[in-house]
Structure 1
Amino acid sequence: MIDPQEVPEVLPNSIPVPSAIVSSASYIWFYFIKTFKLIPGAHYIIDYVKKSHQDDPYRTFVEALLMIYSIVYFLSKPKKKGAVDQPKLSEREIDNLIEEWQPEPIVMPDKRTEWRLAKIPVCEGSGPRNVVDITRDNGKEAYASVFNLCSFNFLQLTAHPSVMQVAKDTIKNYGVGSCGPAGFYGNEDVHYNLEYDLAAFFGTESSVLYGQDFCVSSSVIPAFTKRGDVIVADDKISLSSQNALQLSRSTVYYYKHNDMASLENLLHELDEAEKKEKLPAIPRKFIVTEGIFHRTGEIAPLPELVRLKNTYKYRLFVDETFSIGVLGRTGRGLAEYYNVSRASTIDITVGSLATAIGTTGGFVLGDSVMARHQRIGSNAYCFSASLPPYAVRTASAVLKLMDQDNSAVLKLQQLANNLHDWFQHDEQLNKIIEVTSHPDSSVLHFKLTDEERLARFNSTIESIFQESQYQQQHCISDHYVEAWEQEEKFLQQIVDVALEEGNVLISRDAVILKQETLPLAPNISICCNAAMDDVQLYEAFKVVKAAIVKVCA
């Protein structure tokens, strides 16, 4: 270690600072502190700095540097990354660039499924008619005087002169739309009148109107269920009911389609498991099914369902979108078809005003407690716009006609039976297709036989479903099942031949496979209505048969 006495005298003991700098710095610091103290709460900061400097002088230095850096950072003008001097363009050059600019699509088009959009028919004109003019593929294809077998307006009562006059008068008095949801000035007197008419017509305590039929199930079931509740459903329910079960947060079980032995075994197993678990609270329990199934056209066995629901203490939920106006001597649906009381057998009934009744919207039938709870707990009722008044009064007028005269219902049932009889007893067709719908269904559904599907596409319903489920579970956004697409294109050829060579319009069932949670097969549906006659329908049958035979040859 060097002795301080040995340090040369050349080095000064201190470095002199000019007095001007010292005095200037002192004045600046004095006035800065004086001004800073005028800020409310400044004395807390000064005390903090004093204590901090006393404990750790280096910390004061670091904090001062950070303070200076932050001030410089926030006051400095940010520089754009990669910024270069932009050339000055004239107005003409700017206009040319704008004209040349092509925005990227929000969703990239899928070339593999563009054919679906090109095959969607668009009817020209309005009103319920069996002979229509249609176009496809943005007007590239046009067909005149086509016999329409795709309409769900089964009774065609909205074409009655008295009903048309009611619609015109209502538009003059009420306008063309409602101003909001039911609870926010959307409902008018005609809405409540229709609810009373529906309850009286179907023999229930109350009813509730909805603006859209597709969202009724997905709003009603979640309104009555929670986590821990139990739902037992048929494995062929429609997409709207599937969505409702997903939104319910309940534990969902499926039984084999219309198999009451499968349902009873499942209910018995759940009952035994519940006894062993000794739950602190009894869960709500529902059986979910449909009157006429949207995908297959089969009819639910209501008496057996009622027996099982009473035995195991379940509530019965039935979607009657395609059975109301179709089943029963007066079109009152599944309960009348089996000659039982709706109020004592079905706890919640969901129906549509857009099928046999011919307007728009949906409704729910049940007791008054069920209806009252929906008015405060159902999302679609609370937040969706009400039906237009003219649609509501039109529905009331149709119900009145159905109550006075059931001739349209009886004729529809006779035509439906004839149509099914022609298809089911044709030996040539039975080798190729399988009719799945019940003879009393106004929509005939047919699909390829399992043997035909396996021979042509080397696939089964189970293999298609497994592939679809795999893609859903692995979150594959580009959902595509080759076997499904090939079979859909094959069925579309039948539709095209019937349209191009026979001027008859039929349709594939519109299915978005990635949304489906249950197995199903591609199929074609044919609708009949009360405004047709046997001769027209039989001629259409011959056209469809010829198309099937030609494509499958």
Structure 2
Amino acid sequence: MSTPPQHSHTHAPVFNFELLHSIVLSFADRLFEESNKIPVFKYIVQYIRKSHQDDPYRTMIELCLIIYGIIYFLAKPKKTRAHNANNLYLSNKETNLLIEEWEPEPLAVPISEDVDKSGAAWRLKSIPKIVKYYNSKPNYVDLQVNGAENTYTNVLNMSSFNFLQLNTHPEVMDAITETIKNYGVGSCGPAGFYGNEDVHYNLEYDLAKFFGTENAVLYGQDFCVAPSVLSTFAKRGDFIVADNQVSVSIQNALSLSRSTVYYYQHNDMDSLESLLIKINEDEKHEPIIHRKFIVTEAVFHNSGDLCPLDKIAELKEKYKFRLFLDETLSLGVLGAHGKGITEHFGFEKTGSVVDIVVGSMANVFGLSGGFVLGDDVMSYFQRIGSNAYCFSASLPPYGAKGCSAILDVLKRDNSTVLNLQKNSRKLHDLFFSTTSILNYFQITSSEYSPIVHLSLTPDFRYSKFGSTLEDIYAKLLKQQETCKQDIEIEEFNKEEFFLQSIANKVLERGNILIARNPHALKHESLPISPSLLVCCSSSMSDEEIVKSFNVIKEVIMEVV
């Protein structure tokens, strides 16, 4: 009987982990014995031994990682053929030839003299250069336009935002002079490091006490206050409801905050309330609670009218929003004592209705810098989180001391504020009562504002230039999408050139300086309207105001 064939079974080699473990241990023991001769490694070895006793597998993994790391860092990368092909070696002759052929782009776009295509040339030529101030006559200046050949003397300045002119008050001048002697002319550093002196902290206290808030924070530049502050407290995911005619400074602030921004129709409380209701309804479905702000201006930079603060305050409380208010053109102007729009509407203190107030010392105070008013918590967080406060040079000490001196004058005597308000109403009444002007120009500013805003009526704009504000805004957005360095809109340029021609004739005929409302089209993100600005101050007489109005009226009726 034959036996069945025997089948041989081939066994796969089995990895002997115990053998590897013993080899590693013997190697480690030898390594440890040698390392014990070095004092520093003695403690390292003790730590490794103890760790190995607790978890030997962890030691194996760590050892493999160390070996891999050594091999990785010591290995040299191999240069591929493609890498070598990309390295072009040029001779000196080829290099010089390329350099000679290279034509750099101009640092600035060449200026075109064509008014329709570009407004840069005539805008630069129309900028007045003040060459002399008169301390005895603060409303008058000597200036040059487009070079020394066009010099005007004793010009009535109706384009200045220095409405109260208290920076020339003897007490203020003495305080500034004494501060310059003691502190110099610059702070030479950010506020949080070594830029702030005692005069800065004194001014913060004076501002908070005068305007009725818990605290105040100073900034070296007024234009950067709103962008820096709003982006400190509003972040991605938060909600902001803003007026659709806010200034370019607040537009930058809204962009930098990265929040979800909604715009309501200008001073339309029904539009505002509908957005507040929508946001609160949508928030009910959100897993977290967002910060919510209403953002507006007290006196609007682009139109000159006032926001209805009393109604906004009611909606703010009703729908649980915080209120961010720009009082750049209202502090020192509105209210019996110049405390701003809160005093104008009868609120006892600014902090009782507004959460964050931003203001400027470059307008009504005639100095420089800006400030923020609010409660202690907001101010403390701002000092450690606001970019402009942490990284920008602080206000010059003499500016801080000068502003404190101006506040002292306003506390004792509010006659300059009352005179300014009287002149503002006088100037507006003259324009509002002249039908011949209102046929072509509309006055958008409030009688409480010291700035009269004159812009073309829609009918006159269309008949003269064939355009509407909607057309201008549509072209603005279209050019911004292309990321052009300089934005030029033909209809906008023609209208501004027309307004500038009025300002030029007023200067030539009456020795009176008025101005256009400046716009930076590259940074504007909301609808804009070209306009003329006619400003008054507290020290202007009725005769000066009437004379100026008559000259402006005469020129307007000639050019329309």
Provide TM-score, normalisation by structure 2: 0.81
Contact 1:210 1:381 (C-alpha < 8 Å) held by counterparts: yes
Residue 238 of structure 1, aligned match among 247, 259, 277: 247
> What is residue 262 of structure 1 aligned with on the other side?
271
Change (3 A) 1:81 1:436: same
Residue 514 of structure 1: how far off its partner (Å): 2.4
| Alpha-carbon distance in structure 1 between the residues aligned to 2:166 and 2:89 | 72
Secondary structure, aligned partner of 2:317: helix
Hey, what does 2:329 align to over in structure 1? 322
The one of 84, 94, 99 aligned to 1:82 = 94
Contact 1:127 1:159 in 2 (8 A): no
Residue 257 (structure 2) aligns with: 248
Equivalent in 340, 352, 356 of residue 333 of structure 1:
340
SS in 1 for 2:336: coil
State the match for 2:161 in structure 1. 152
2:255 alignment partner, SS class: helix
Query: Tell me, which stretches of 5 or more residues in structure 2 are unaligned?
Result: 1-70, 98-102, 113-117
Which AA in structure 2 matches 1:143? Y
1:21 — aligned with what? none
- Counterpart CA distance in 2 for 1:65 and 1:256 is 63
- Inter-partner Cα distance in structure 2 for 1:105 and 1:115: 20
Q: Distance in 2 between matches of 1:356 and 1:127?
A: 18
Q: Measure the CA separation in 1 of the matches of 2:79 and 2:104.
A: 50
Deviations 1:353-376 (CA, angstroms, capped at 9, x unpaired): 111112110000000000000100
Aligned to 2:557: 549
Which residue among 542, 546, 549 is the counterpart of 1:538?
Answer: 546
| Between 278-287 and 107-116, the greater mean CA deviation after superposition | 107-116
**Quick one: percent identity of the two aligned structures?**
50
Counterpart of 1:499? 507
Q: 1:146 to 1:479 in 2, by over 3 A?
A: same
Q: How many residues align?
A: 470
Shift of the 77–426 alpha-carbon distance from structure 1 to 2, 3 Å rule, reads: closer
- For 1:106, the aligned partner's letter is L
Q: Contact 2:134–2:141 (CA<8 Å) still a contact in 1?
A: no
Q: Please identify the structure whose Cα radius of gyration is greater.
A: 1
The 1:390/1:474 distance shift into structure 2, 3 A limit, reads same
Deviation of 1:201 after TM superposition, in Å, equals: 0.2
Find runs of 4+ consecutive structure 1 residues off by over 6 angstroms. Answer: 63-66
Say whether the 8 Å CA contact 1:361–1:387 is kept in structure 2.
Answer: yes
Give the aligned partner of residue 287 of structure 1.
294
Aligned residue in 2 for 1:303? 310
Which letter does structure 2 place at the counterpart of 1:79? S
The answer as to whether partners of 1:412 and 1:528 remain within 8 angstroms in 2 is yes
* SS of corresponding position for 2:522: helix
Alignment of 1:476-515 (within 5 A): 476-515=484-523
152, 164, 170: which one pairs with 1:143?
Answer: 152
Distance 1:119 1:77 in 2: 53
The correspondence for 1:347, drawn from 325, 343, 355, is 355
For residues 96-115 of structure 1, the C-alpha deviation after alignment (integer angstroms, 9 at most, x for no partner) is xxxxxx99741232312211
| Distance in 2, Cα, partners of 1:258 & 1:78 | 66
The residue type paired with residue 323 of structure 2 is L
Q: Which of 452, 473, 495 does residue 465 from structure 1 map onto?
A: 473
**Separation of aligned partners in 2, 1:388 and 1:126:** 22
TM-superposed deviation, 1:77: 8.8
Q: TM-score, normalised by structure 1?
A: 0.82
User: Match of 1:441?
Assistant: 449
Letter in 1 for 2:365: I
Checking the alignment, whether the CA contact within 8 Å between 2:133 and 2:140 is kept in structure 1 is no
8 Å contact from structure 1 (residues 157, 163) kept in 2:
yes
Shift of 1:124: 0.7
Amino acid at match of 2:467: S
Question: Aligned letter for 1:332?
Answer: K
> Are the equivalent residues in 1 in contact too, given 2:359–2:372 (CA < 8 A)?
yes
1:391-420 alpha-carbon deviations (Å, 9 max, x no partner): 110000000000110000000000000000
Q: Secondary structure at the match of 1:346?
A: coil
User: Is 1:369 aligned to 2:360, yes or no?
Assistant: no
Structure 1 residues 178 and 273, CA gap change in structure 2 (3 angstroms): same
Structure 2 residue 118 is the aligned partner of structure 1 residue 110: no
Structure 1: distance between partners of 2:270 and 2:463 = 32
* C-alpha separation in 2, matches of 1:165 and 1:393: 10
Q: Name the counterpart of 1:164.
A: 173
Shift of 1:219: 0.2
Please state how far the C-alpha of 1:478 moved relative to its aligned partner. Answer: 4.3
Corresponding position: 1:199 with 2:199: no
Distance in 1 (CA, whole Å) between partners of 2:318 and 2:260 is 20
Write the mapping of 1:30-45 to structure 2, written as runs, cut at 5 A: none
Q: Is residue 283–residue 289 contact of structure 2 (8 Å, CA) maintained in 1?
A: no
Change in CA separation of 1:147 and 1:78 when aligned onto 2, cut-off 3 Å? same
Instruction: Show the counterpart of 2:320.
Output: 313
Q: Of residues 209, 223, 227 in structure 1, which corresponds to 2:218?
A: 209
Q: Is the 8 A contact 2:351 2:374 kept in 1?
A: yes
For residues 212 and 349 of structure 1, what CA distance do their matches in structure 2 show? 15
| Distance (Å, rounded) in 1 between the aligned partners of 2:195 and 2:344 | 35
1:151-200 superposed Cα distances (whole Å, 9 cap, x missing partner): 11110111111111111111111111112000110000000000000000
Amino acid at match of 2:320: K
RMSD: 2.3
Residue by residue, what CA displacement relative to the aligned partner does 1:284-324 show, whole Å, maximum 9, x if unpaired? Answer: 00000001001101011111111111111100000000000
Change (3 A) 1:272 1:537: same
Matches of 2:150 and 2:520, distance apart in 1:
24
Q: Does structure 2 retain, via aligned residues, the 8 Å contact 1:147–1:503?
A: yes
Shift of 1:81: 4.9
Deviations 1:450-475 (A, max 9, x none): 11000001111111000111111232
Q: Distance in 2 between matches of 1:262 and 1:455?
A: 31
Per-residue CA deviations over 1:177-230 (Å, capped at 9, x if unaligned) read 112000110000000000000000011000000001100000000000111000
- The structural deviation recorded for 1:479 is 1.8
Alignment check: 8 A CA contact 2:132 2:143 kept: no
Describe the SS at the equivalent of 2:358. Answer: strand
Aligned partners of 2:241 and 2:261 also within 8 Å = yes
Partner SS, residue 272 of structure 2: helix
For the structure 1 residues 491 and 64, does the alpha-carbon distance in structure 2 shift closer, same or farther, using more than 3 Å as the test? closer
- 2:38 is matched with none
Q: 2:367 aligns with which of 348, 359, 363?
A: 359
| Structure 1 unaligned blocks of 5 or more | 1-43, 49-62, 86-101
- Indicate conservation of the 8 Å contact 2:500/2:516, yes or no: yes
Residues 193 and 457 of structure 1: CA distance in aligned 2, closer, same or farther (over 3 Å): same
